[in-house]
C-alpha cells in the first residue's frame, strides 16, 4: 500500500464554495446571491473525505456525540501526529495559494520575498500592492435558480437565487488543475486503494470532483525548501503567509471585524502582528450529520500576512501543529514561512 502524501480533487466543471454569508432566499427577500470562495474551507475538504470513507465502508460514524471537529477527526482516524494541511490549488504540479478572490503562484511569491527589503515588508505600505500584483483572478460563472420545497420539490413562488461558481479549467486553459490537501501521519485514508479514483460531491449545488490519492505532499515540499533557506538567519521571528483561515475561540459578543491598523494578538502561544489582511467572522460550514450550521468564529482570513515570534520553537513543528485554535488537525491555520527576521 502506497503512502498518502496528498489527496487531489479534480473538478468536472465549475464549483461553488460558499463563504460566511447566508444562502437562503427568505433571509434577503425575493432574491439572494451566494458568492464563492476561491478555494474550499478545510472543513469542506475534511467532510468530503469523511463521506468518501463512510461510503466505502472503511470508517465508522463517531461513537458518542462530539463536536463537529472531533467527529471528523474520529472518522478520518487522525492519530496524535497526523493532520491535514491546505487546501491549495495545484496547476501542473505548481502550488497556488488563495488571496482575496483569486490565487497567487507560490513560486512567484517566494521570489518576490527574496528580492524585498525586510523593513519594507514589515513597515512599508507597498506590500499589499505587491500581493495584489501577483494575484491571478479566477474565472467566475453565475447561475440563477429557483428555491424548492424540500419535501415536495415544488417551486417556492417568487424565491429566486443567484449562485456564483469558480471555473478553474477556464482560468488555466490547457493545464491540469486540482484542489489539493496534504496528508501527514497515519489516517483512515490509507485504507482506500491508491490505484482507484472516486467521484464525489464537493461544495455547493451538488457539483462533483474526481478524487485521486497521490504520494507527493506538494505544499510540504515547498515549505520544507523555504524553511531550510530562512531558518539559519532567523532568531525566532518570521513573516508568514496564511493559507487557510485561523479560527479563534472568541465569545460571541466579541465577534466583530477588526479595523485597527496592524493589530497584535497571541494565538497558540505565538505572538503575532497582522501586516496585511483582516480578522472577521467565519463559519465552518454545515454539519450534514446533525443538519445544523457549524459555529461561527473570529477568524484570521486566508491571504493574511503576519509577523510572528515563535519563541524559538521549531518552525516545522509549528507548521505541523497549525496556528488555529479550532480545526488545526483538519487544515485550519495552515501557513507558509516566507522570511526569517534577524535581530541584529
Residue 100 has pLDDT above 60, yes or no: yes
User: Quick one: pLDDT band at residue 66, thresholds 50, 70, 90?
Assistant: confident
**Each residue's pLDDT tens digit, 257-315:** 544 567 888 888 888 889 888 888 887 766 666 666 777 888 899 999 999 988 777 88
Q: What are phi and psi of 161, to 5 degrees?
A: -145, 155
> Looking at residue 74, what is its pLDDT?
94
Report the C-alpha gap between 88 and 168 in whole angstroms: 12
Residue 116 has pLDDT above 90, yes or no: no
> Looking at residue 310, what is its pLDDT?
83
Report the C-alpha gap between 202 and 166 in whole angstroms: 13
Residue 187 has pLDDT above 80, yes or no: yes
Which residues are registered as beta bridge partners of 246? 300
Residue 339 has pLDDT above 70, yes or no: yes
Which residues are registered as beta bridge partners of 183? 84
> Looking at residue 289, what is its pLDDT?
63
User: Quick one: pLDDT band at residue 124, thresholds 50, 70, 90?
Assistant: low
Mean per-residue pLDDT, 64-90? 92
Q: Are 343 and 237 in contact (CB under 8 A)?
A: yes
Q: Where are the domains of the chain?
A: 6-341
64, 65, 66, 72 alpha-carbon torsion, rounded to 10°: 70
Looking at per-residue confidence, does 121 or 272 come out higher?
Answer: 272
> Looking at residue 41, what is its pLDDT?
95
> Mean pLDDT across the chain, nearest whole number?
84
What's the pTM? 0.88
> Looking at residue 295, what is its pLDDT?
77
Q: Are strands 94-99 and 83-91 parallel, antiparallel or unpaired?
A: antiparallel
> Looking at residue 24, what is its pLDDT?
44
> Looking at residue 147, what is its pLDDT?
59
User: Quick one: pLDDT band at residue 204, thresholds 50, 70, 90?
Assistant: confident
Residue 35 has pLDDT above 70, yes or no: yes
Amino acid at each position: 500500500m502506497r503512502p498518502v502524501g496528498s489527496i487531489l480533487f479534480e473538478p468536472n466543471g465549475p464549483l461553488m464554495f460558499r463563504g460566511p454569508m447566508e444562502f437562503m432566499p427568505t433571509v434577503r427577500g425575493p432574491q439572494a446571491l451566494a458568492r464563492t470562495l476561491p478555494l474550499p474551507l478545510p472543513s469542506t475538504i475534511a467532510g468530503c473525505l469523511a463521506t468518501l470513507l463512510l461510503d466505502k465502508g472503511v470508517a465508522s460514524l463517531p461513537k458518542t456525540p462530539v463536536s463537529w471537529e472531533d467527529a471528523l477527526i474520529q472518522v478520518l482516524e487522525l492519530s496524535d501526529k497526523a493532520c491535514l494541511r491546505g487546501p491549495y490549488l495545484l496547476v501542473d504540479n505548481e502550488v497556488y495559494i488563495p488571496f482575496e478572490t483569486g490565487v497567487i503562484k507560490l513560486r512567484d511569491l517566494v521570489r518576490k520575498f527574496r528580492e524585498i527589503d525586510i523593513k519594507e515588508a514589515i513597515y512599508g505600505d507597498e506590500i499589499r500592492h505587491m500581493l495584489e500584483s501577483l494575484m491571478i483572478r479566477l474565472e467566475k460563472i453565475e447561475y440563477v435558480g429557483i428555491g424548492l420545497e424540500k419535501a415536495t420539490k415544488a417551486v417556492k413562488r417568487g424565491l429566486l437565487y443567484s449562485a456564483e461558481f469558480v471555473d478553474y479549467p477556464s482560468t488555466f486553459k490547457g493545464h491540469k488543475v486540482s484542489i489539493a490537501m496534504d496528508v501527514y501521519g497515519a489516517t483512515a485514508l490509507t485504507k482506500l486503494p491508491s490505484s482507484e479514483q472516486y467521484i464525489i460531491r464537493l461544495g455547493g449545488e451538488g457539483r462533483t470532483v474526481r478524487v485521486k490519492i497521490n504520494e507527493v505532499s506538494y505544499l510540504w515540499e515547498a515549505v520544507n525548501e523555504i524553511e531550510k533557506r530562512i531558518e539559519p538567519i532567523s532568531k525566532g521571528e518570521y513573516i508568514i503567509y496564511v493559507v487557510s483561515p485561523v479560527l479563534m475561540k472568541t465569545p460571541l459578543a466579541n465577534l466583530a471585524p477588526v479595523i485597527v491598523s496592524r493589530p497584535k494578538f497571541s494565538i497558540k502561544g505565538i505572538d503575532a502582528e497582522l501586516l496585511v489582511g483582516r480578522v472577521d467572522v467565519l463559519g465552518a460550514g454545515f454539519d450534514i450529520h446533525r443538519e445544523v450550521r457549524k459555529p461561527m468564529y473570529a477568524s484570521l482570513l486566508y491571504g493574511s500576512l503576519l509577523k510572528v515570534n515563535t519563541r524559538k520553537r521549531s518552525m516545522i513543528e509549528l507548521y505541523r501543529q497549525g496556528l488555529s485554535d479550532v480545526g488545526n488537525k483538519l487544515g485550519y491555520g495552515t501557513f507558509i514561512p516566507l522570511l526569517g527576521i534577524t535581530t541584529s
